[in-house]
Amino acid sequence: MISDLYIWQTAKVFPIYFLALVNAPYAYLGFIIAQLLLLIGVVLASYHSETPPGRYKKYALVFGLSAFVFAAAVGLIGQPENQKADISLLPKDSAIVALNQNFEVVVGVNTQNPINAVDAVIKFPMDSLEAVNISKENSILTFWVQEPSFSNTSGTIEFSGVLTGDKGFSGTGEILTITFKPKMIGEAEIDFADAQILAADGEGTNITGNKNGVVYSVIDNKPEVYDFNNDNKVGLTDLSILIYNFGSIDTPQYDLNDNGRVDLTDLSILVSRMGK
């Protein structure tokens, strides 16, 4: 009898479970546990009634609804957030660059879901950086709705492109490579003013995730700037002097990136110049 009751009630609520699974495809565990809850309801009902009608319906309904709620909750909680696609600005080499020496920034994407369209507006400090070139050579995009362009007057870079075909792109890939020329010493932040990444799902779903910028430290390329003890080389003594002044805001001669404090960036800059 219990078996018949279980089959009867399962058939009754199966459409609800089906909907729960369609909307929460990772709810398999929740579905199994929910079935166990439903079976418990049927067992309890069998002790209070001889036939499916009557009290059985009340017990089965209560446990059936509880089972559905549990399955849906486990499915929604257990299901990863609709996987987003991140877009980032990445140093081609180092984030520490010398004054008046060009450097490259890669615009890259990282996505698990296939994508087929990307557009963005990138902003940069026009007083300290000058955009000089944009390369599409290694881009995953194959057609440009808006050709990549830059304006040193407004400090912006804009582009909009798509990947033709029906498969899309997933993984880590390059969109553009931008070349800048630093014009003054200090920190220069390059970031996204706006960005949009669309899934190759036939609906153009916006799956834009994190928009990651980058901060460059522009340093003076004159050796004497780092030679604190004037022995014509950058060595351990200079490193010791900087460490002694670490955290200071009153020793600008050791503040190599001109951010108002002797910090880890200054230490990194000095280490990169040691032996030169």
| CB proximity list for 48: less than 8 A, separation 6 or greater | 55, 56, 59
What is the token pair recorded at 18? 């089906």
Whether 5 shows a pLDDT value over 80: the answer reads no
**Residue range 226-243: mean pLDDT, rounded:** 87
pLDDT in tens, 50-101: 545 555 555 555 555 565 565 555 555 444 455 899 999 999 988 889 898 8
Residue type, 78: G
Q: Do residues 53 and 72 both lie within one domain?
A: yes
Whether 204 shows a pLDDT value over 50: the answer reads yes
Whether 123 shows a pLDDT value over 60: the answer reads yes
Q: What percent of the chain has pLDDT over 70?
A: 70
Cα–Cα distance for residue pair 193/195, rounded to 1 Å: 7
Q: What is the DSSP string of 50-101?
A: SSSSTHHHHHHHHHHHHHHHHHHHHHHHHSPP---EEEEEEESS-SEEETT-
Q: Do residues 168 and 236 both lie within one domain?
A: no
Q: Do residues 215 and 120 both lie within one domain?
A: yes
Q: What is the pLDDT of residue 36?
A: 67
Q: Do residues 57 and 174 both lie within one domain?
A: no
Q: Which of 32-36, 125-129, 153-157 has the lowest mean pLDDT?
A: 32-36
Q: Do residues 256 and 174 both lie within one domain?
A: no
Q: What is the pLDDT of residue 39?
A: 65
Q: Do residues 101 and 202 both lie within one domain?
A: yes
* CATH number assigned to the domain comprising residue 267: 1.10.1330.10
Domain containing 244: what range?
Answer: 223-273
Q: What percent of the chain has pLDDT over 90?
A: 49
Cα–Cα distance for residue pair 195/213, rounded to 1 Å: 12
Q: How many domains does the chain have?
A: 3
Q: Do residues 155 and 189 both lie within one domain?
A: yes
Cα–Cα distance for residue pair 218/234, rounded to 1 Å: 18
Q: Do residues 111 and 53 both lie within one domain?
A: no
Left (φ > 0), alpha (ψ -120 to 50) or beta: where does 225 sit? Answer: alpha
| Distant-in-sequence contacts of 142-147, Cβ < 8 A, 24+ apart | 145/119, 146/119
